[in-house]
Amino acid sequence: MSQERLLRIARILRVRERLVEQLEVEVARLARLCIDAANLERMALEGWTSALEVRPNDRWSCADFDQAHSYAATLGLRYEARVREARQADLRCAEGRARLHAARTEVRKIEILRDRISASHVHDERALERRATDEMAARRGRTA
């Protein structure tokens, strides 16, 4: 019975370990996306600030000012969108790390269960051996 139980636990453990490996790959991918989103956010901020620092020359018309303002406003909206994307990427990465942590914890719990069952199995086998030895000694004692 306990040998079958150990085999079942070993199968479950292998499945959970594969899940941990998949989650590690997923977290690495999410971390990369998070870094990329942060870089896009930084580049959008740099573009927006450079558009805001445009110095008009002597011959700018109202249309030129309007065009510069529209361009800077568009870059500002793009920057805000990149900030939202970076926050979402951070949240997805944090959720992935939490799932990975939970999966690793579950694997560790299964390993502990397996070790306890194995130790119990060894303890039971030793107890059977002691009983058998005691019975054999008792039979010898009666026959002597």
pLDDT digits (tens, 9 = 90+) for 4-19: 888 899 999 999 999 9
- Indicate the residue type of 109: K
**144, pLDDT greater than 70:** no
pLDDT band at 140; cut points 50, 70, 90: confident
Is residue 102 within 8 A of residue 27, CB to CB? The reply is no
Task: Give SS3 for 5.
Answer: helix
pLDDT of residue 1: 55
The residues spanned by each domain of the chain are 2-143
> Domain 2-143 carries which CATH code?
1.10.287
Distance CA 27, CA 104 (A): 13
| Length in residues, the chain | 144
Would the pTM count as exceeding 0.85? no
